Amino acid sequence: MDNYTTRPIEEINKVDFKGILTNKENSISTHALDHLSEKQRKVFKEEELVNMIEKESPRKIYLQFNGRYAAYYRKPEGYLKLILEVDDKKITIVTFINILEIPKLDIKNE
């Protein structure tokens, strides 16, 4: 199995997730904004993404095989999926994508 796979391996509850994110500096990788046009960058402000992880509660959170977290936040037009890399001191928003629905996953411990 590839060590970089984004396959979810565990669902994380909201309380544990908030604990994981507590007292950490927030940043956004340059990759997260690379796919946006200039017009989209004016609409999607970096502060909005940071405020989302600081103030909103995601509907679902999964730990991926690659050690990153996939967090799904409810939005009027569907969901925003954030991919987060978390270490001892910092949370990095690696990328994000708009989706219509949260995928239904049957996570099995293999």
The answer to whether residue 6 sits within a structural domain is no
What end-to-end distance do the CA atoms of the chain give, in Å? 11
Per-residue model confidence (pLDDT) at position 55: 92
Range of the domain at 42: 14-99
Per-residue model confidence (pLDDT) at position 109: 52
Per-residue model confidence (pLDDT) at position 5: 85
The answer to whether residue 22 sits within a structural domain is yes
The answer to whether residue 95 sits within a structural domain is yes
In order along the chain (110 residues), what is the average pLDDT of each group of 10 residues?
Answer: 76 95 90 65 71 93 95 93 95 91 76
Per-residue model confidence (pLDDT) at position 18: 95
Domain count of the chain? 1
The answer to whether residue 9 sits within a structural domain is no
Domain with residue 57: its CATH number is 3.30.2310
The answer to whether residue 42 sits within a structural domain is yes
The answer to whether residue 77 sits within a structural domain is yes
**Which residues in 66-95 are b (16+ Cβ under 10 Å) and which e?**
eebbbbbbeeeeebbbbbbbbeeeebbbeb
Phi, psi dihedral angles at 82 (to 5 degrees) = -105, 135
pTM of the model: 0.85
The answer to whether residue 4 sits within a structural domain is no
Per-residue model confidence (pLDDT) at position 87: 95
